């Protein structure tokens, strides 16, 4: 546990910084931290995050939000840092690839510098994309990956790989208390409706009875983790893992399905009239993706619990309400 003040024998609330806190995963993490009684500083530049995701917290006495870009230093006093800031969908991270790389690298340097100064524990939200188009299946944390350093996805893939390097070098050189997780495909409420990710794409297309776009034959596989399960794993890594376990550790779901199977499930759950529309596979798109979760189970006692259809139903309900608010249905 990171050190924080004690008053009359009772630990004071932890002061927790969440970069990218107005984003999809960040907003769920902020909510859970507030429920746990922590003081939360949400930092976001709103490139992909949304004030709508955090609007219900704005009047909370333990919540503060700051518009800030992590490529610039930040001077605050905190006990813990969750570094989530970075666009995570190809549409968004390829929009400005240089800025994406700077967010991962400069952002990591600035947040690690803050952790060093304040003696805070810092967790890096890395990604399964560090494995690239894997030749090992399922992917274990010891696998070094198969990444194209020159392709259109490299700004994100290599940026996250460089950030992991920085985290471990700051630990070795400066003794910074670091934790690294690798997030696999995650879905749930608060996803950006136009992020181009497969779950949000399919759900909106199905709700609007539009053709559902699959790439190739839809035989590529993914493993989808519900956001509540992911946040539970993140908090366990930050608070309950021993000081000698820094990671990296995979967090995701190991129930592997094809993209076509996902599309069929969403069509069924939405009673949609949508049909499948095939398009060519994007460059460097991974063919298979499934985490080996043995390390998370051993070190964190963690495993995903939410059934895919149950999680999809909640996600569909969120997007139905979103489309109604915007007059689309």
Per-residue pLDDT of the chain in tens (329 residues, 90 and over written 9):
445 555 455 567 899 999 999 999 999 999 999 999 999 999 999 999 999 999 999 999 999 999 999 999 999 999 999 999 999 988 899 999 999 999 999 999 999 999 999 999 999 999 999 999 999 999 999 999 999 999 999 999 999 999 999 999 999 999 999 999 999 999 999 999 888 889 999 999 999 999 999 988 899 999 999 999 999 999 999 999 888 999 999 999 999 999 999 999 999 999 999 999 999 987 777 788 899 999 999 999 999 999 999 999 999 999 999 999 987 66
**pLDDT for residue 129:** 95
Domain span at residue 292 reads: 13-187+225-254+288-306
Q: What is the CA radius of gyration of the chain?
A: 19
Query: Does residue 30 sit within a domain?
Result: yes
Phi and psi at 29, nearest 5°, equal -65, -45
CATH number of the domain where residue 151 is located: 3.40.50.720
Give domain status of residue 83, yes or no.
Answer: yes
C-beta separation of 74 from 42 below 8 A = no
Report cis status (omega within 30 of 0) of the bond before 248: yes
Active site residues: 156
Task: Give the pLDDT confidence score for residue 6 in this predicted structure.
Answer: 52
Alpha helices in 119-178 (DSSP H): 154-174
Asked if the structure places residue 150 within a domain, the reply is yes
Residue 282: what pLDDT?
79
pLDDT at 122: 98
Rounded Cα distance between 132 and 294, Å, is 20
**What does the pLDDT read at residue 329?**
66
Q: What six digits make up the tokens of 118? A: 């304040």
Give the DSSP H/E element, type plus range, for residue 78: none
- Which residues of 120-279 form beta strands (DSSP E)? 121-127, 178-183, 186-187, 212-215, 221-223, 225-226, 249-251, 256-258, 276-279
- Separate counts of helices (H) and strands (E) for the chain: 10, 15
Please give the pLDDT value at position 327.
76
pLDDT of amino acid 11: 67
Domain membership of residue 98 (yes or no) is yes
pTM for the model stands at 0.93
Residue at 114 is within a domain: yes
Q: What is the pLDDT of residue 287?
A: 84
204 within domain boundaries: no
Choose among 252, 22, 40: nearest CA to 131.
Answer: 252
**How many domains would you assign to the chain?**
1
């Amino acid at each position: 546990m990171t050190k924080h003040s004690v008053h009359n024998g009772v630990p004071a609330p932890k002061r927790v910084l969440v970069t990218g806190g107005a984003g999809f995963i960040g907003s769920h993490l902020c909510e859970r931290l507030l429920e746990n009684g922590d003081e939360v500083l949400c930092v976001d530049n709103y490139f992909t995050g949304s004030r709508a995701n955090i609007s219900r917290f704005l009047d909370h006495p333990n919540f503060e939000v700051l518009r800030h870009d992590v490529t610039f230093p930040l001077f605050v006093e905190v006990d813990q840092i969750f570094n989530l800031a970075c666009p995570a969908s190809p549409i968004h991270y390829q929009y400005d690839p240089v800025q994406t790389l700077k967010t991962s690298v400069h952002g990591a340097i600035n947040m690690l510098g803050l952790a060093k100064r304040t003696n805070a524990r810092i967790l890096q939200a890395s990604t399964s994309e560090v494995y690239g188009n894997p030749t090992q299946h399922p992917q274990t944390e010891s696998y070094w990956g198969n990444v194209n350093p020159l392709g259109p996805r490299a700004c994100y893939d290599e940026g996250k790989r460089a950030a992991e390097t920085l985290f471990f070098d700051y630990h070795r050189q400066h003794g910074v208390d670091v934790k690294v997780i690798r997030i696999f495909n995650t879905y749930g409420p608060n996803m950006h409706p136009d992020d181009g990710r497969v779950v949000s794409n399919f759900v909106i297309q199905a709700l609007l009875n539009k053709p559902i776009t699959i790439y190739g034959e839809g035989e590529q596989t993914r493993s989808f983790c519900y956001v509540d399960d992911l946040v539970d794993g993140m908090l366990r890594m930050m608070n309950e893992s021993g000081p000698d376990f820094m990671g990296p550790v995979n967090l995701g779901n190991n129930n592997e399905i094809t993209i076509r199977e996902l599309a069929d499930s969403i069509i069924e759950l939405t009673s949609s009239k949508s049909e499948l529309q095939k398009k060519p596979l994007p460059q460097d798109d991974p063919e298979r993706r499934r985490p080996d979760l043995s390390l998370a189970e051993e070190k964190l006692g963690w495993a995903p619990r939410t059934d895919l259809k149950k999680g999809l139903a909640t996600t569909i309900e969120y997007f139905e309400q979103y489309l109604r608010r915007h007059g689309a249905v």
